[in-house]
Structure 1
Amino acid sequence: MRWAVVRQLSVIAALALVAVILWIDIATGLWKDYVILSGLAAGVVTFILTALIVDRVIARSTHRRWAPVTRLALTDMLHALADDDASEVARGRIVPRLIEPIGPHASAESLTALRHAIVDERRLLAGAIALWSTFLASSADATEVLDQAAEIAERLDLIRDAALEAETAGSPVQVAELNAEIGRFNVAVEALVSELRRQVAATDRLAQAPVIPGR
């Protein structure tokens, strides 16, 4: 969200700069007296218009062309996060596969089982990221998805380390810290699932948008 606000403010500032340069050129004719500055101003205007208009048109065209594959990639990541028994991903019903908190007097066996489950969970998520990360980074506007997926993988490592410490120390304090990490992981998973669903919906809208001739 913060990045989106910063990006919007940057666009507004860039357009304002272009407007100022054009106003100076029309109202004062300043650039006629300063050749070097006029060349720099023209370069700035060209760069901003290219970055804000031309590049976005090309990117949108590329995203639309690869929309079916993008949807497959996003859906595959949803499968990696969804509870298979409770979810129907194809119908839009997605229940995230969350981790249940551990009781304050958890046994060493339950903590060991949790660590093994975390390893399997991380392997599944890392496989989906590795499979689609290059494509999503180059052919789709999915930076937020990849950042959140990487955060979840990191949180799985934190849970595994906290489980190992709780198993070694056997202290309720360590178990409480483990449950705190589990809670943060569950929140991150739900946020990523929401973002993936939003991206799938946006991809569907893009695929259904009318084609502009020549693009």
Structure 2
Amino acid sequence: MSRTQPQASDQPVTPVTATPAVSREQPSAVTLTGSALPNYREGADPAEMAVRGRIQYLSPEELDAEVEKSKSAQEVMEEGECQTCKERKYQDGSNDPGVSFKTPTNVAPEQAAAAVRGHEQEHVVREQAKAQREGREVVSQSVTYHTAICPECGKAYVSGGTTRTTTRASQEQPVLDPTRQGRQTPFFAVA
């Protein structure tokens, strides 16, 4: 295999102009003209301008096609349904056998708060009835609702509740003085 030498042409070489030396003390003497640099506004960021130059906008026909393919808010919500919330089960942890949720029960996420409120109200009513049967009086009752945040979707939900009841032995009704019994009448306010 033999190498061939390029043949010399008879055309003259275009002369090159000398480039001035660059120093830190002097501004550059080189000036670029024509289309070597794009025109930038004063204060414009060249990187931002480069990105903006690469943005491609849709034509009206392409935009209409994209809108037709897009999903409604309802469709997006159905697809984004959280399995953890959908499969959450509630169970009563008390020793009261007459209330709901003694076995694990699945409750729809949108109905969970109402179900927990109703369940805790069952405890309130049953504790009041128990106190009355035992001849005690209810001093105070409180219901605390607990909330948590779903680890999958991040939504807050009612995770349960606690009912506290305090009772005491019934206080004897004061016996009225029999000598004054006929003259005193009890006062009742009715609203």
One fold, TM greater than 0.5? no
TM-score, normalised with respect to structure 1: 0.20
- Which has a greater percent of helix? 1
Higher relative contact order (CA 8 A, sep 6+): 1
- Which has a greater percent of strand? 2
Larger gyration radius, structure 1 or structure 2: 2
TM-score, normalised with respect to structure 2: 0.22
